[in-house]
Structure 1
Amino acid sequence: MKAVTIIESQKVAVLEKDKPELKQGEVLVKIKYVGFCGSDLNTYLGKNPMVRLPVIPGHEIGAVVEDISVNVPESIKKGMSCTVNPYTNCGYCPSCRNGCPNACQHNETFGVQRDGAMCEYIAVPWQKVIVDKDMNPRDFALVEPMSVGFHAVARAAITDIDNVLVIGCGMIGVGAIVRAVLRGARVIAMDMDDEKLALAKRLGAVNTINSKTEDVHSRLYEITNGSGPDVVIEAVGAPVTYQTAINEVAFTGRVVCIGYAKTEIAFETKYFVQKELDIRGSRNAMPEDFRAVIEYMKRGTCPKDELITAIYRPEEAQKALAGWAENPGKVFRILIEF
């Protein structure tokens, strides 16, 4: 079978791999679409310390159930469209014992700590397969990245009385915007790209801030009547956006961090104490976040076509990643179609 493989920094090839054989309790899925995410781009650029090359990237999966082994529930049938929860969980670490398998201490995510799904077939435990008769494989490929944003909103415990600033309107930020709006919050979207901000507005953001052309502090002061946002969700992973989150959040506010910076960051730590802040990490997503995204997408209000920047064949993966690296601010999601 074909498998897109990042061989070394900025070198991608399509290699031939053996088709996986089913083990007891596993499902063989035929891959239709796989999305490239930021971690894949960092792997391509040689900036992902968690990856050991060569690696098959991809954990944003739209697929069809190809075959089923024994001991798989009857609810999973051949021919069903599906996605796959791409994280592992050990079951015994502190995170797993506390009911947070998404943050498993020993997690191995597809395309990062282990080979991913950018190939023609993968075999996975049935517990990781999510099927829905009303979804198609292309739409399923958008579920995982949006679920990461949904999970951040859950971590922030957002309600309808919150002013929420989402920093970064890429795919994960979009998920956070959508979920916060669904919870009734007033959302402020911040980015440097006007097209992304316009989409955020259509998704329900009440206010937008272009951090490249506007004074962020002045605009937030105006929008929140001087209080600052109750919640800030950081979905970029840059020193300046982390600092903005801490500096601008309201007293006794919550800061939720999804992105992680590649360098150390200096903070005014007095704000941690003076504001009595809750600073929370948000990693991956829970099964209920996947289900919530699927239900949202089935409503028919999600602008799915706008979230797909381009679709490439496996042989064009190098071109896709190189183009993204040259113009990162203009990409929502790039899909590889098998």
Structure 2
Amino acid sequence: MRDDHDGGDGLFEVEPVGKKRSRGRPAAVDKTFRAFDPHQVLLLPPSLDDWLPEDHLARFVADLVDEVLDLSLVLADYTDERGYPPYDPRLMLRLLIYGYTTGVRSSRAIERKCTDDVAFRMSFIPGWTDDREAAIERMMAARTYARRGDASAELWAWLDAVEAECETRCGDPRAALRLIGHAEDALSSGSEHPTPEWLDWFSPVRLSAFKGNTQLKAGHLPQARQTLQEVLDDLPPESDKQRTVVFGDLAAVEAADGHPEAACRYAVQALDQLAITWYATGMERIREVRRTLAPWQNEQCVRDLDDRLYDWGTTVSALQR
């Protein structure tokens, strides 16, 4: 970015170094922005980060905005606490920079990309909340958008799965299971339309993994155990991260069913997998299981699990991969 105060047509206009801001400017306030969590954990996919390769330009832009650029002057312009929370300046700057670096410069084109392009979606999608009404409104809009195009069976199934996750997070796993059943039917029926490239991670086995997690939350422990064990058998070799999550869910099933030794065995298998391929979501699953094992904390299997959980010092380099 260069200083274009001499009349150039650069991307940004920057005040010359040393130029003082006018006196009498209102003091900046601690403004509340709309929720912006680029590392929001989802079940489908487990993390927004899963949508992009490690060397993608969008990641570089995100690091540039978050770690390098000084946005203090931008934040200083927020001098009024009143009004609806605006979008986080980091989010908007990410979109603007990524758009310009990829040749997308108009606001309307960027808006379309926020719907169609996964790299923009990583910047723009808000995290899920427990606001069921807002989630329903978003799903209605998403389904309307899908009907206007040539939506594939995978896309329709994914929409069912996303809505199912909303229901699960809002405390209705039974409604979620009905939606998952509808998604399974959609995948079985198929479609002549191609699957979008950004959805290439979605598959029947991924849907089954989500189904097992939802059955667990609904208290259907035998069904969850069977579903998740079948998922382990069907996962492709490269699905290391998903395998860790499934081990964690199986551990949770056994803990909920009063089988601490079986829960610990699955948890240890998950930790073994994490030592090969680190995945924060998988570790969180293990920690959740450990909390549910509190009634058996004096059992030897739980003590052994504690030793594994808190002895990661020698594997830090492996966990950072």
TM-score (norm 2): 0.29
TM-score (norm 1): 0.28
User: Which structure has the highest strand share of the two?
Assistant: 1
> Which structure is richer in relative contact order (CA contacts within 8 A, separation 6 or more)?
1
Q: For the pair shown, which has the larger CA radius of gyration, 1 or 2?
A: 2
